Amino acid sequence: MTLEPLRVAAVQAASVAGDVEANVSVAARWVREAAGVGARVVVLPELFLTGYDPTTWKNADGCDVTPADPRLLPLRRAAETASAAVLVGASVASGGQRTLSTLCCSPDGGLDLAYSKQHLWHAERSVFTPGRAGGSVEIDGWQLGLGICYDGCFPEHARAAADAGALGYLCPSAYVVGSEHRRDLYYAARALDNGVYVVLAGLTGQCGKLEFSGGTAVYDPQGRRVTDVPQGEGLALADLDPAAIAEARAINPYAEDRPPSLGGRVTTHL
């Protein structure tokens, strides 16, 4: 199968802590807007449906969702009408545990839990159970690896996705104001490390007691930012091009040049 370019939209938007219905409505609106410019994949920020607010996770009833949650129906309908895959973050309740997860609404209106965050950050650890496996979605022949925020800070996470065949790495995130320098370094590096596109969808504005810095962007396989949302709310739209991946991997053949092992370590005492 010859891959054609894939149009992806990353959403930068604000979320209301604990108000699933309001956040679903906002997400569905952004899906419709992305569909209007031809997006086949729409990525929304980390914990967008729940809101990124530790106080809410610990104390508010009704902020968790399940794949069968009727409150998600407007988002499923929007994905189906748009004929797009929609990835959105939420606190998911399953089997007596809670995970910080990415849900995937498919173009046919189905909804699945696609991935649960494996690297939990600070306050997340007291609430959520870490995911036990990596995750990818495949659409139009494109395999896209999934990460969530802190996952993307670990080079081996994106590498595992690339080694499994991913040509893109989708990373919904929520970075507080003041952490921009780290955020912008991590995801450019993950793109360059692996010769893949990286799509970062960042939360913006106030959510509970925290203020978020956005950072929504798409990085090409050589680590260059090709589109972003500088501030406020908006869409970062990009066409993922298989030719750009092939070019990057020819210039920087890291996967070929990486030895299977670095062996032991010799210490020279001076």
Please check the confidence at residue 229 and state whether its pLDDT lies above 80.
Answer: yes
d(CA 221, CA 53): 33
Confidence grade of residue 94 (pLDDT, cut at 50, 70, 90): confident
Q: Which residue has the tokens 């991935």?
A: 115
Q: Are 40 and 8 in contact (CB under 8 A)?
A: yes
pLDDT of residue 95: 85
Encode pLDDT of 43-73 as tens digits: 999 999 999 999 999 988 899 999 999 999 9
Please check the confidence at residue 244 and state whether its pLDDT lies above 90.
Answer: yes
∠ CA 203-22-68, rounded to 5°: 95
pTM listed for this prediction: 0.97
Encode pLDDT of 121-139 as tens digits: 999 999 999 999 999 999 9
Please check the confidence at residue 99 and state whether its pLDDT lies above 80.
Answer: yes
Pick the CATH number of 6-257 from 3.40.50.150, 3.40.1190.20, 3.60.110.10, 3.30.450.20: 3.60.110.10
Contacts of residues 68-73 at CB distance under 8 Å and 24 or more positions apart, as own/partner, are 68/111, 69/20, 71/20, 71/21, 71/24, 72/24, 72/103, 72/105, 72/111
Please check the confidence at residue 1 and state whether its pLDDT lies above 80.
Answer: no
pLDDT of residue 32: 98
Is 189 buried (19+), middle (13-18) or exposed (0-12) by CB count in 10 A?
A: middle
Encode pLDDT of 11-53 as tens digits: 999 999 999 999 999 999 999 999 999 999 999 999 999 999 9
Q: List the domain boundaries for the chain.
A: 6-257
> Percent of the chain at pLDDT above 90?
97
Instruction: Please give the average per-residue pLDDT across 161-172, as a whole number.
Output: 98
Instruction: Please give the average per-residue pLDDT across 67-87, as a whole number.
Output: 97
- Whole-Å CA distances, 147 to 38, 92, 191: 24, 16, 13
